[in-house]
Amino acid sequence: MPYKIVYLHRVVAEQTICRKLRMGEVVHHLNGIAEDNSADNLEICSSASVHRLHHRKPHSDNFQPDRPLEREGDLWF
Ligand SMILES: [Zn+2]
């Protein structure tokens, strides 16, 4: 019998949004407590990179972009 690992927070999130999570979607714990799988504590991120934004400290002085800023002419992007 095949064994399938199901993460509880994903099941709770799926019940909250009444659909299955899509490939790549990540469930984030808003209060940072991974064991707290109450619906209020879960937020669905569309990708791992969106999820990563939640784990940056807000208003951090040493904000680090995903990649170094590149300069082209006078435009920074
Ligand atoms: Zn998270």
pLDDT of 10 above 80: yes
Of residues 6 and 49, the one with the higher pLDDT is 49
Q: Ligand 1 center to residue 2 CA distance, Å?
A: 29
Name the pairing type of β-strands 26-29 and 42-45: antiparallel
Structure tokens, 69: 């800023």
**What is the distance in A from the centroid of ligand 1 to the CA of 20?**
19
Residue 33 CA to ligand 1 center (angstroms) comes to 9
Model confidence at 70: pLDDT above 70: no
Q: What is the pTM of this model?
A: 0.65
Q: How far is the CA of 26 from the centre of ligand 1 (A)?
A: 8
- 17-22 CB contacts, 8 Å cutoff, 24+ apart: 17/44
